[in-house]
């Protein structure tokens, strides 16, 4: 079987629980067709660079799978038919990256920064 990475974007007006339910649903589709999901991440509600179907935001999800090509084709077909899924991208990879994805690592590094320090002196004001 081949290794794949899938990213999909769901509509902004569904809840976080519904978005995670979509991950479980598509994971089950792969398992029913002889594949296996080795990992998944829910990246949350994120702002998109441009509108898709009049939506400015979307729920992003990432799946790592080890599945035969027909299983992936069936999952993609069902994703494209699903009303809540706006975009799908599947990439065949040679090996899965260990640990968290770059998106999660970047989010965690922002969270570790801590509070802002004290401000420096303000420049003098110009009175015209």
Helix (H) or strand (E) holding 24: helix 16-32
In this prediction, residue 114 carries a pLDDT of 63
* Distance from C-alpha of 72 to C-alpha of 65, rounded to nearest angstrom: 9
Range(s) of the domain holding residue 76 = 2-95
* Distance from C-alpha of 50 to C-alpha of 48, rounded to nearest angstrom: 5
| Residue 100 lies inside a defined structural domain of this protein | no
| Residue 30 lies inside a defined structural domain of this protein | yes
* Predicted confidence band of residue 113 (pLDDT cuts 50, 70, 90): low
| Residue 120 lies inside a defined structural domain of this protein | no
112 pLDDT exceeds 70? no
How many domains is the chain built from? 1
* Distance from C-alpha of 96 to C-alpha of 113, rounded to nearest angstrom: 28
| Residue 121 lies inside a defined structural domain of this protein | no
pTM: 0.77
108 pLDDT exceeds 90? no
**Other residues' Cβ atoms within 10 Å of the Cβ of residue 73:** 13
119 pLDDT exceeds 90? no
| Residue 128 lies inside a defined structural domain of this protein | no
**Cβ-Cβ contacts under 8 Å for 83 (sequence gap 6 or more):** 11
> Can you give the CATH number for the domain in which 28 is found?
3.30.70.60
| Residue 71 lies inside a defined structural domain of this protein | yes
């Amino acid at each position: 079987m081949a290794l794949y990475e899938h990213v999909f974007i769901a509509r902004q007006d569904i809840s976080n629980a519904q978005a995670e339910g979509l991950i479980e649903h598509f994971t089950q589709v792969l398992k029913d067709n002889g594949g296996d999901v080795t990992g998944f991440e829910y990246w949350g509600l994120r702002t998109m660079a441009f509108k898709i179907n009049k939506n400015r935001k979307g729920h992003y999800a990432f799946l790592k799978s080890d599945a035969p090509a027909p299983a992936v084709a069936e999952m993609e077909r069902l994703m494209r038919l699903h009303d809540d899924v706006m975009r799908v991208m599947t990439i065949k990879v040679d090996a899965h990256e260990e640990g968290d994805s770059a998106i999660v690592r970047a989010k965690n590094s922002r969270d570790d920064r801590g509070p802002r320090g004290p401000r420096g002196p303000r420049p003098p004001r110009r009175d015209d």
